[in-house]
Structure 1
Amino acid sequence: MTQLTIGTELDTPNTSVQLDARRFNRHTFWCGQSGSGKTYALGVVLEQLLLHTELPMLILDPNSDFVRLNEARETAGDDVAARVAETDIRVFHSSRSDGERLHVRYVDLSTPSKAALLQLDPIADPEEYNLLLHIEEHTEVIDTDNMVARLRASDDPGMRRLANRVDNLEVLDWDLWSRGSTTVTDAIDERPRATVMDLGGFAHQAEPKIAALAVLEHLWRNREERRPILIVIDEAHNLCPPNPRTDVERALTEQLVQIAAEGRKFGLWLLLSTQRPTKIHPNVLSQCDNLGLMRVNAPRDLAELADVFGFAGDKVSRSQRFTQGQALFAGGFIAQPTYVQMGQRLTEESGGDVRVPLREG
């Protein structure tokens, strides 16, 4: 099935709207300010891709919004519930004790990414950086559990300085590391229909970014296999901001810029969701050929959208008047720019707003 029903035309409610599933082989930008229904509506599209295509998806989920993608709603009907139940959807958690834990291997990171993690600069810290480049030659020091002890035991003073740096930063104490257990990249290699990475529960603010970096580097390293996958990044401004501040953010942004520029021919397709286009690195945004736009009020953001997505014409301006659940779709995955009232979710949504406590009576 190539047509995915996502809702009805906003101005003619009896007319259904479909997206062309084949055109998700281009990068997609999904945008809407807080309260627009952006995450709920994104779930509508992801469900349709799950039920009506064979396209594997990797979902980077910072707010645990998609961790129940494997649970059909009671209102979805028995047929949908059965199809969801038999679909291979794997959820990796960063904090919950039940279910699969989100782990990656330190050793799998590229040398520049390890340097970013350890705040090493090739110019300011030439000796330690050079040691890091060649440390893989000493296989006995790679394991995260014994790396510091092995480095300290070395006769090389540079090794001992590197040990102090690793120890002081405490990065090897993170819960993120696999320590011999299976990793999320192992699962992705099996290409389940959906792999959800629940990024929100880590103790250190850099852990979700390193988790994302490890996975994206893994996919890029194996790009020549040309195994299609849709990389869905919710709150994408956290991973590819226009002005990354830390070494880890810079490494992550550079990897996403590379995937945006060159990934399509290898089957690495992005779906980036965020509140504002100006929060995304321009070299990533400019590579998107599909647009899903919900309510956006800021004139600067509307001007940016009109400039980058010229194929939407002047229709982006109406997004200022959208109510929750209304959207504009434009680009390769729809015949013409169309205003849409999004349909209902078929699976359970997590996250959501916290209610204000009210006094009874």
Structure 2
Amino acid sequence: MTGLVIGSGVDVPGEPVTLDARRFNRHTFWCGQSGSGKTYALGVVLEQLLLHTELPMVILDPNADFVRLPEAREDASAAEAARLAELDIRVLRSSGDSPGDSSGSSGDGSGKSPAGRLRARYVDLTPASKAALLQLDPIADAEEYNVLLRAEVRAENFDSAGALAAFRQSSDPGEVRLSYRMENLQVLEWDLWSRGAGSVVDVIDQRPRATVMDLGGFTHPAESKVAALAVLEHLWTRREDRKPILIVIDEAHNICPPDPQTDVERALTRQLVQIAAEGRKFGLWLLLSTQRPNKIHPNVLSQCDNLGLMRVNSPRDLKELAGVFGFAGEDQIRRSASFAQGQALFAGGFLSEPTFVQMGRRITEESGGDVGVPLRGGR
């Protein structure tokens, strides 16, 4: 099945609207302001991809909106629920076991790490990413940077306390200085590190249909970004395998902002710019969701060939969208300012012409909904 039914026509009520699943081999930009129904609607599309294609996906989920993706709603049809139950959907969380992890495995086949934990290996990062994590400049911190380049540590025997002790006792001044930097920044104490056990990249290499990375809940604000960097870097390193995967990034402005501020943010943005520019031919396809186009790095935004647009009121944002996505008319894009919740404009390669859609129902449970206003007297 190549047609994914995502809803019905706004201008032709009751007429099903389908997206061509084959055209998700292009980068997609998904945009809508708060309250437009953007996350719910994105779930509709992801569900259809899960049910009607074999395309694996990894979902970077900062607000735990998709952690219940393995769970069918009570009003889902028996066929939909049965199909969903067959799918290998892994949910990895920053702490605790995930109720949505349908695999029951550690992700590395070793049984060493608890099921459902989002963990990465420090030693799997490239030297450049480790340097970004440790705020090292290759020129200003030449000796310490060189220690990173020369270090050969295997994942199965890496021990942070032992590494610090060995560097501290070394006769090499660069290693001693690096030990102080590691200890002062406390990066080796993060909960993110698997410490010799399974890593999120092991899970992804097993090719489940979906891997949901719940990026919220880490103690240090950089941990979620490093988790994303570890995955994107790994996928790019393995790009010659040419195994297709859809990389879904919700609240994408947290991952590829136009003006990254920290070394880790700059490394993450560089990697995404590279994937946006060159990843398509290797089967690395992006689906980026955010509230405003100017919150995404322009070199990533400009590579998107599909558009899903929900309500956007800002004239400045509408003008920018019309300039970037010329395959949708300016009048059509401007109409999004009057959309009701759940209405969207779809344009680009995955349908024959720009189309206004009333999004269909979800078949999986949604998480992360709005918090209601408490009323007096239980009303």
- Indicate the TM-score class for this superposition, using the shorter chain for normalisation: over 0.9
**More displaced, 123-132 or 164-173?**
123-132
Q: What is the CA distance between 1:97 and its match in structure 2?
A: 4.0
- 2:131 aligned partner: 115
Q: Is the 8 A contact 1:106 1:144 kept in 2?
A: no
TM-score where L is the length of structure 2: 0.93
CA shift in 2, pair 1:12/1:148, >3 Å: same
Equivalent of 2:371 in 336, 347, 354:
354
Contact kept in structure 2, 1:27 and 1:269, CA below 8 Å: yes
For 1:139-158, what aligned pairs fall within 5 Å after superposition? 142-158=158-174
Match of 1:342 in 2: 359
CA contact (8 A) 1:223 1:266 kept: yes
1:316 corresponds to 2:333: yes
Q: How far 1:145 moved relative to its partner?
A: 4.1
* Residue correspondence of structure 1 range 78-97 to structure 2 within 5 A: 78-97=78-97
Count of paired positions: 361
- Contact 1:5 1:48 (8 Å CA) reproduced: yes
Change (3 A) 1:139 1:56: closer
1:229-262 CA-to-partner distances (Å, cap 9, x unmatched) read 0000000000000000000000000000000000
- Is this contact kept in 1: 2:155–2:196, CA < 8 A? no
* Alignment match, 2:32: 32
Specify the alignment match of 2:55 in structure 1.
55
On the 8 A contact 2:88/2:210 being kept in 1, the answer is: yes
State the Cα distance separating 1:73 from its structure 2 match.
0.3
* Per-residue deviation, 1:137: 7.2
Question: Partner letter of residue 6 of structure 1?
Answer: I
Mapped to 1, the partners of 2:192 and 2:216 lie a distance apart of: 12
Question: Residue 242 in 1 paired to residue 258 in 2?
Answer: yes
- Where does structure 1 lack aligned partners over 5 or more consecutive residues? none
Q: CA RMSD in A?
A: 1.4
* Letter of the structure 1 residue corresponding to residue 237 of structure 2: R
Cα gap change, 1:48/1:132 in structure 2, threshold over 3 Å: closer, same or farther?
Answer: same
* Cα offset, 1:335, TM superposition: 0.9
The one-letter amino acid of 1:286's match is S
Partner of 1:331: 348
Q: CA, structure 1 residues 140+25, in 2 after alignment: closer, same or farther (shift >3 Å)?
A: closer
Q: Does 1:263 align with 2:279?
A: yes
Q: Given residue 351 of structure 1, which amino acid in structure 2 is its aligned partner?
A: G
Aligned: 1:72 with 2:67: no
Contact kept, 8 Å, 1:33 with 1:294, in 2: the verdict is yes
Q: What is the distance in 1 between the residues matched to 2:40 and 2:337?
A: 19
**What SS does structure 2 have at the residue aligned with 1:203?**
coil
Take 1:254 and 1:316, find their aligned partners in 2: how far apart are those partners?
Answer: 29
* CA displacement at 1:95 relative to structure 2: 2.1
Q: Cα 1:344–1:141, aligned 2, differ >3 Å: closer, same or farther? A: closer
Which ranges in structure 2 are unaligned for 5 or more consecutive residues? 99-114
Q: Structure 1: how far apart are the matches of 2:91 and 2:287?
A: 19
Q: Distance in 2 between matches of 1:344 and 1:206?
A: 35
Displacement over 4 Å in runs of 4+: 137-142
Shift of 1:143: 3.5
Matched, 1:44 2:60: no
Q: Within 2, Cα distance between the matches of 1:7 and 1:218?
A: 35
Q: Which of 236, 244, 250 is the equivalent residue of 1:228?
A: 244
Q: Which SS does the other structure have where 2:204 is aligned?
A: helix
| Residue 136 (structure 1) shift | 2.1
Find the counterpart in structure 2 of residue 186 from structure 1: 202
Asked whether the equivalents of residues 64 and 198 of structure 1 are also in contact (C-alpha less than 8 Å), the reply is yes
User: Per-residue deviation at 1:129?
Assistant: 1.0
Shift of 1:165: 0.2
Tell me which of 233, 248, 251 is aligned to 2:267.
251
Identical counterparts, % of pairs: 73
Quick one: distance in 1 between partners of 2:130 and 2:19? 40
- Structure 1 residue 96: Cα displacement: 2.8
